[in-house]
A and B are shown apart, each in its own frame.
Chain A
């Protein structure tokens, strides 16, 4: 497996250009940093289109770009199942949460729960859900960044993780949400441009006939190939396929770094239009990913599988090199370098969004409202947010370096989605819609969701092989994706806690939340930034 490249000079130069641009943006944003609203919500000054791009930049991780292209290259249709789930998820976000979040919240998802429930337990529970999702997702992205940069540019894994972490912290600490937003917007533009150019190169080879691309991809297989235009090659158990699909479609509506983006727009109308923009950008992206994955299959064939590394992550960069003229040619190296830089920018934008949402949970929820009970100044809250971001970032860097390449990235991303769908999503949805819901329900639901997701992943076959080395730790449970069990458990937890508690929800507060979330009356107003 030749995944460690010699230092790629073109890649280093392009990386340096991308990093310089993001640092200039961060400097510009830092000059406009006026307080908590600027730090967490970019002064609610982001337009619908901008936020649509930023959501795409926040959402499309390296797992989406390199991971799905690689899965499609190796397995065909099953890789595409992820794309469909990741996209349809935005209907859940739009119909159930986007506008309500903007109308009812301030900076974090805990704000929505705390609006009508007892503040300290509700916030603590929501912060737990946010931090669990952010932690798993963040470490997965950092490890992915290290592996990719090492393979593509020839920088050592630890140094690659360190550079990624330091850049991410620069954006968040100095530029807050404003810098993070613009890094995400630029990344979305780079990513879409990169994948569009690659797709055009691929389609040009087949006379711009996608069906011909499908044919050639299916032909370019050998007896060892797992590639298929039908399902069942990667996800072998039907119930696991369904479980994964449900976790994807509900999990996005519980991802704190995505939901947080709705606080950055002036009103719920902009929140709504930003979701539709994101749908079209992300939908377009996933169609193009298919062309890249099939292009890799049609042009690189089975010989390309070994060179594509674990999970086929390097299929897209290797395809770029091939399309540019092949290894050793200037065109090939340049195209590889550009795609590598796009992948790097992709990771940076996602990890920055994650750190920002985690710092919101620590500083705004736990410190400011649980420990200091809202008595702290805005200045203090932002200071704590920066310290929290630095600490969270440092911990993630250390875990990623110590855990190293051995950490299973896809399992951690799967876990993040499972927790988001099983803990955050039920509590948020019921807080906004169920009159009877109370604090005990929210706390129980989040605990059920978090604990069941983690336990079920630990006893899953991938993590804890059973005695025969095949099934999981328990003979009757062999799901790799816990969603189909943990999501109902999250909802049951919310219901059970609510029913067992004698606490009656405060009618007036629910009325206020209900009216506010539906009409925008009394919602946080757009501030003035820059």
Chain B
């Protein structure tokens, strides 16, 4: 169900350095962040499963190690969520918007550069 826009050369864009830059920038954050949160989370459930006594130890009165570690999971979700949101707005969106803008411009050979009217989307 390819909704191909004939004006767009997808393979050329995919090969372009600008696209590689966008993918790379996103991956540099998302890949380590995903590995980190999965490791931290799975570490937490491994402890819950295999070290119940450690998790039940008291840190301060009724507050146990398990609840403290669970709390770090909540904090992790909030911090990673906000970090990704800010990076996306600052770094990825400008790169993606620029790529999209340029892809919809008519090719340079089609007319004089600079004042070619931009083709509206759809």
Could you tell me which A residues sit within 8 Å of B by CB distance?
77-78, 80-81, 83-85, 87-88, 90-92, 94-96, 111, 114-115, 119, 211-218, 228-232, 235, 237-242, 245-246, 249, 269, 272-273, 275-276, 279-280, 283, 286-287, 369, 374, 507-509, 511-512, 514-516, 518-522, 525
Contacts and interface: CB of A to CB of B under 8 A. Distances in A.
A98 to B, nearest CB: 10
23 contacts: A77-B64, A77-B66, A87-B77, A91-B76, A91-B77, A115-B1, A214-B62, A229-B62, A230-B66, A231-B48, A235-B49, A241-B49, A242-B46, A246-B42, A272-B85, A280-B78, A280-B81, A374-B1, A512-B4, A515-B19, A519-B99, A521-B13, A522-B3
A91 B103 contact: no
Given A242-B49, A508-B11, A276 B42 contact: no
Interface of B: 1-5, 8, 10-11, 13-14, 19, 22-23, 26, 30, 33-34, 37-38, 41-42, 44-46, 48-50, 52-53, 55-57, 60-64, 66-67, 70, 73-74, 76-78, 80-82, 84-85, 88-89, 93, 96, 99-100, 103-104, 121-122
A249 B41 CA distance: 9
Contact of A95 (B70, B76, B84): B84
Nearest to A110: B1
Contact of A211 (B4, B14, B62): B62
Given A88-B73, A238-B49, A519 B62 contact: no
Secondary structure at the B interface, as helix, strand, loop or mixed, is helix
A90 B103 CA distance: 32
A305 B63 CA distance: 23
B70 A91 contact: no
A230 B1 contact: no
B77 A88 contact: yes
A113 to B, nearest CB: 10
Contact of B63 (A78, A214, A242, A245): A214
A77 B71 CA distance: 12
Secondary structure at the A interface, as helix, strand, loop or mixed, is helix
A442 to B, nearest CB: 14
Given A91-B37, A238-B50, A514-B14, A283 B77 contact: yes
A119 B50 CA distance: 45
A81 B45 CA distance: 8
Nearest to B89: A269
B62 A230 contact: no
A515 B44 contact: no
A149 B13 CA distance: 56
A230 B55 contact: yes
Contacts of A273: 85
Nearest to B104: A521
Contacts of B3: 522
B17 to A, nearest CB: 14
Nearest to B3: A522
A518 B96 contact: yes
A276 B84 CA distance: 9
A241 B1 contact: no
A232 B45 CA distance: 11
Contacts of B93: 269
Given A242-B45, A519-B96, A229 B67 contact: yes
B10 A512 contact: yes
Contacts of A269: 88-89, 93
Nearest to B103: A521
B21 to A, nearest CB: 11
Given A80-B70, A275-B81, A515-B10, A522 B49 contact: no
A280 B82 CA distance: 10
Contacts of B41: 84-85, 88, 245, 249
A369 B84 CA distance: 36
